[in-house]
C-alpha cells in the first residue's frame, strides 16, 4: 500500500482512510487523525500543485491553492469514505467482489478529482482523454508497485516505494498539465462529476446482483445432492451450504446424504427447511446444530461421516472440528472458505471504545440506509459477522490447518486469490480451480476430486493454477491493512504468530 501515499486523488485519500478505519481505537482518536489527514493532504497537494504548474502559465497564489486544496481534501474524504468503509467490510468477510465494489468507484472518480485542485468549475464537463489516460496509468502503476512491495524481501520494499514515488510525481505533473491545458472537451455545462459520484453509488448494488447470479452455478450442493454417492464410498455425508442459501426440505436421492439445516432437526430427525435469514445465526449456534445432526446421522447409518461445506458452511464445519468433533467424522472438504477473514475489527454497538469503533458505527448506518431503500436487509452486527470478527485469530491462522484424524481438502476458486494478501495460509492439500466464490466451472474435475476423497483414496497433492499467484500479488495493493492481533485487547487470548506479519499460518504457539 505504500506507493499510494503520494498518489493523485482519490487513491491517496483511499489509502489514508483505510488505515484510519482499521487502526483508530476511540472516537477522539478517529476525529483527531481525520483532521491531521485532511490538513496534511491539503498541504501536500498544494506543494505538488506549485511544483507541477506549467511555467508558461500564470499560477494562483499559494494561499489560494492551499484554501482550495483544504476544501477539496474535506470533499474527497467524504466522497471516498463509503468505499474505504466497504474495503474494510471486505477484509472482515474476505470476499473479492466486495473489495472490487470498493475499488471501481475510485477508478471512475479519479479523472474528475485529479483536476479539482487546479481549475475552477472542475465538476462540470467530462475530463479530457489525456486526463483519463493518466488516471488509468496511475491505477496501473499503483497496482504493479503494490505487488512488487509484497513480492520483494525486507528493505527492498523501501526502494520499490521510492521508485513508485518518483512515478507518482511524474503522474502528478502530467495530470496537472492535462487539467490546465484541456480543462474539458465535452458537455462543458453538464455536472458530470456529481453524476459520476451517483453512478459510483450503484457499483455495490450491481456487484451484489452479479455475485448472486454467478453464485447460482456449480456449487457443492449441486454436485452432491443431484446424484447418488459413489459406489466405493463408505461415508455418510452432510452438505453445509453457504451464507444466504435456503433449503425447502427436499431429500437427496441418496439416503446417506443430508443437507445441514441452519434451523436444526425435525422430531423425526430430518433437517428442517430454512430461509436465507436463518444463515445469519452465529457460528457457535451452527456448530451446536451440526453436532446434533452429525450424531443423529451416524446413529442412523452407522457410517463414517464426511462434512462438505461451502463458504459459511466451510467455516462452520472447520470450527466444529476444532471444538467438538464426533469421532466418526473423518473427512472435510471446504469449498470457497473465507480465507483470512476477520482482518479488521469493530466492537459491539454497546461498547463506545475499541479498535474500529467509528467504523462499526458507520457500517451500521450504511446498512440502515441500504435497508431503507430496499437494497439489503442485513445488519453489521448480525451473529455470523460477529463470529468472524470476535474469533478472527482462529480464522486467520487455523482455518486451513490439519485436524488430527480428519482428511481435509480445500477447493479454492481463482477469485480467492484477491481476497487476502499474499501468503502461505494452508498446511493441507489445496486445489485451485477456475471459478468465483461459491461457483466452480469444471464440474468433472470437482466430482473426480470429491469421489476420490469420499472413497478413502490418498489425499490429492496441492494443485495450483498459474494465474492464482499473479492475481494475489496484483490484488495486494488494494487490501485493507490487517489489524495486528496483538494490538487488539479483544483478541488477547490468542498466543500464536500473526499471519499478517509472518505471511504464514499454522505456525506453532509461542
- The answer as to whether 428 is a domain residue is yes
Are both 33 and 93 inside the same structural domain?
yes
What is the pLDDT at residue 214? 44
What is the pLDDT at residue 436? 74
Report the chain's mean pLDDT, rounded to a whole number. Answer: 85
What is the helix (H) or strand (E) element at residue 404, kind and residue range?
none
First to last CA, the chain: 29
Are both 207 and 221 inside the same structural domain?
no
What is the pLDDT at residue 496? 74
Q: Is 332 helix (H, G, I), strand (E, B) or coil?
A: strand
- The answer as to whether 266 is a domain residue is yes
What is the pLDDT at residue 208? 53
Pairing, β 435-436 against β 439-440? antiparallel
- The answer as to whether 99 is a domain residue is yes
Q: Is 406 helix (H, G, I), strand (E, B) or coil?
A: strand
- % of the chain beyond a pLDDT of 70: 91
The last residue of one of the domains, among 213, 241, 270, is 213
- The C-alpha atoms of residue 403 and residue 20 are separated, in whole angstroms, by 37
- The C-alpha atoms of residue 230 and residue 450 are separated, in whole angstroms, by 9
Could you give phi then psi for residue 46, rounded to 5 degrees?
Answer: -60, -45
- The answer as to whether 358 is a domain residue is no
220, 252 Cβ separation under 8 angstroms: no
Mean pLDDT lowest among 40-44, 94-98, 140-144: 94-98
The last residue of one of the domains, among 178, 213, 248, is 213
- The C-alpha atoms of residue 403 and residue 388 are separated, in whole angstroms, by 20
Stretch 98-125: mean pLDDT, rounded?
Answer: 80
- The C-alpha atoms of residue 10 and residue 174 are separated, in whole angstroms, by 16
Cell numbers for 53: 504548474
Local confidence band at 215 (pLDDT 50, 70, 90 cut-offs): very low
Are both 42 and 157 inside the same structural domain?
yes
Are both 281 and 196 inside the same structural domain?
no
95, 338 Cβ separation under 8 angstroms: yes
| 143-196: pLDDT as tens digits | 999 889 888 888 888 999 999 999 999 998 888 888 887 666 677 777 777 787
Residue 216 pLDDT > 60: no
Number of domains in the chain: 2
| 256-273: pLDDT as tens digits | 889 999 999 999 889 999
Task: Cis check for the bond before 10: say yes or no (omega within 30 of 0).
Answer: yes
Domain that holds residue 237: 216-340+399-479
- The C-alpha atoms of residue 59 and residue 62 are separated, in whole angstroms, by 9
Q: Report the range out of 18-22, 363-367, 422-426 with the highest average pLDDT.
A: 18-22
Q: Is 257 helix (H, G, I), strand (E, B) or coil?
A: strand
CATH at residue 315: 3.40.50.1820
Mean pLDDT lowest among 5-9, 201-205, 222-226, 381-385: 222-226
DSSP of 407-474: EEEEEEEGGGGGSS-SSB-BSS-EEEESEETTEES-HHHHHHHHHHHHTTPPPPPPB--HHHHHHHHH
What is the pLDDT at residue 443? 65
| 360-388: pLDDT as tens digits | 999 999 888 877 776 666 788 999 999 99
- The C-alpha atoms of residue 334 and residue 404 are separated, in whole angstroms, by 16
Are both 225 and 159 inside the same structural domain?
no
Residue 289 pLDDT > 70: yes
Q: Report the range out of 96-105, 145-154, 316-325 with the highest average pLDDT.
A: 316-325
What is the pLDDT at residue 442? 62
Amino acid at each position: 500500500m505504500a506507493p499510494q501515499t503520494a498518489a493523485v486523488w482519490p487513491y491517496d485519500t483511499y489509502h489514508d482512510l483505510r488505515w484510519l478505519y482499521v487502526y483508530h481505537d476511540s472516537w477522539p482518536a478517529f476525529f483527531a487523525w481525520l483532521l491531521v489527514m485532511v490538513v496534511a493532504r491539503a498541504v501536500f497537494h498544494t506543494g505538488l500543485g506549485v511544483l507541477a504548474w506549467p511555467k508558461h502559465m500564470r499560477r494562483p497564489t499559494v494561499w489560494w491553492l492551499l484554501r482550495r486544496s483544504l476544501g477539496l481534501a474535506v470533499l474527497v474524504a467524504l466522497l471516498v469514505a463509503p468505499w474505504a468503509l466497504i474495503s474494510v467490510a471486505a477484509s472482515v468477510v474476505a470476499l473479492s467482489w466486495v473489495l472490487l465494489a470498493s475499488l471501481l468507484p475510485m477508478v471512475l472518480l479519479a479523472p474528475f478529482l485529479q483536476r479539482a485542485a487546479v481549475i475552477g468549475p472542475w465538476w462540470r464537463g467530462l475530463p479530457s482523454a489525456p486526463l483519463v489516460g493518466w488516471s488509468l496509468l496511475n491505477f496501473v502503476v499503483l497496482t504493479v508497485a503494490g505487488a512488487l512491495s509484497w513480492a520483494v524481501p525486507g528493505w527492498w520494499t523501501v526502494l520499490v516505494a521510492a521508485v513508485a514515488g518518483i512515478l507518482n510525481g511524474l503522474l502528478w505533473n502530467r495530470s496537472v498539465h492535462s487539467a490546465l491545458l484541456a480543462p474539458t472537451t465535452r458537455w462543458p455545462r453538464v455536472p458530470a462529476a456529481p453524476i459520476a459520484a451517483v453512478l459510483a453509488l450503484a457499483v455495490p448494488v450491481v456487484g451484489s446482483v452479479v455475485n448472486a447470479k454467478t453464485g447460482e452455478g456449480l456449487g457443492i450442493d449441486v454436485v452432491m445432492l443431484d446424484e447418488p454417492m459413489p459406489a466405493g464410498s463408505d461415508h455418510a455425508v452432510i452438505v453445509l451450504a453457504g451464507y444466504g442459501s435456503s433449503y425447502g426440505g427436499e431429500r437427496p436421492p441418496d439416503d446417506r446424504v443430508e443437507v445441514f439445516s441452519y434451523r436444526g432437526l425435525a422430531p423425526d430427525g430430518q433437517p428442517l427447511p430454512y430461509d436465507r435469514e436463518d444463515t445469519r445465526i452465529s457460528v457457535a449456534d451452527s456448530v451446536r446444530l451440526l453436532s446434533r445432526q452429525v450424531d443423529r446421522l451416524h446413529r442412523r447409518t452407522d457410517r463414517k461421516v464426511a462434512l462438505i461445506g461451502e463458504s459459511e458452511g466451510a467455516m462452520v464445519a472447520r470450527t466444529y472440528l476444532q471444538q467438538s468433533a464426533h469421532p466418526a467424522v473423518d473427512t472435510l472438504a471446504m469449498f470457497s472458505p473465507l480465507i483470512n477473514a476477520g482482518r479488521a475489527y469493530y466492537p459491539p454497538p454497546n461498547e463506545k471504545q475499541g479498535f474500529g469503533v467509528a467504523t462499526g458505527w458507520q457500517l451500521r448506518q450504511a446498512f440502515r440506509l441500504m435497508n431503507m431503500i430496499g437494497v439489503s436487509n442485513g445488519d453489521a452486527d448480525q451473529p455470523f459477522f460477529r463470529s468472524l470478527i470476535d474469533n478472527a485469530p482462529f480464522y486467520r491462522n487455523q482455518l486451513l490447518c490439519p485436524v488430527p484424524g480428519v482428511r481435509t481438502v480445500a477447493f479454492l476458486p481463482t477469485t480467492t486469490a484477491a481476497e487476502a494478501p499474499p501468503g502461505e495460509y494452508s498446511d493441507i492439500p489445496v486445489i485451485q480451480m477456475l471459478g468465483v466464490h461459491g461457483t466452480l466451472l469444471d464440474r468433472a474435475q470437482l466430482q473426480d476430486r470429491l469421489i476420490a476423497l469420499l472413497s478413502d483414496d490418498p489425499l490429492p497433492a496441492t494443485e495450483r493454477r498459474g494465474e492464482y499467484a499473479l492475481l494475489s500479488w496484483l490484488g495486494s495493493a488494494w487490501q485493507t491493512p490487517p489489524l495486528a492481533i496483538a494490538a487488539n485487547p479483544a483478541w488477547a487470548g490468542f498466543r500464536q504468530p500473526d499471519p499478517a506479519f509472518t505471511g504464514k499460518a499454522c505456525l506453532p504457539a509461542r
